[in-house]
Structure 1
Amino acid sequence: MPTVSEESGRRNLRMPNDDEMFAVVTDMLGGGRVRLQCNDGKERMGRIPGRMRFRTWINEGDVVLIEPWDWQDEKADIEWRYKGQDADQLRREGHID
Structure 2
Amino acid sequence: MPKNKGKGGKNKKKGKNEADNDKRELVFKEIGQEYGQVLRMLGNGRCEVMCIDGTTRLCHIRGKMHKKVWIAAGDIILVSLRDYQDEKADVILRFMPDEARRLKAYGELPGTIRVNDGPPFEDDDQGADDYIEFAEEDIDKI
Residue equivalent to 1:38: 51
Residue equivalent to 1:78: 91
Percentage of pairs with the same residue: 34
Q: Which has the higher helix share?
A: 2
**Equivalent AA in structure 2 for residue 71 of structure 1:** Y
- Pick one of 53, 60, 67 that aligns with 1:47: 60
**TM-score of the superposition, structure 1-length normalised?**
0.85
Greater radius of gyration (CA): 2
Structure scoring higher RCO (CA < 8 A, sep ≥ 6) equals: 1
**Partners of 2:87 and 2:26 in 1: how far apart?**
26
**Equivalent AA in structure 2 for residue 96 of structure 1:** L
Q: Which has the higher strand share?
A: 1
- The runs of at least 4 aligned residues of structure 1 exceeding 4 Å deviation read none
Q: RMSD of the TM alignment (CA)?
A: 1.1
* Unaligned ranges ≥5, structure 2: 1-22, 111-142
Instruction: Summarize deviations over 1:49-95 as a string: whole Å, max 9, x none.
Output: 11101110011111000011111100000001100111111122221
Residue equivalent to 2:37: 24
* Unaligned ranges ≥5, structure 1: 3-11
Residue equivalent to 1:7: none
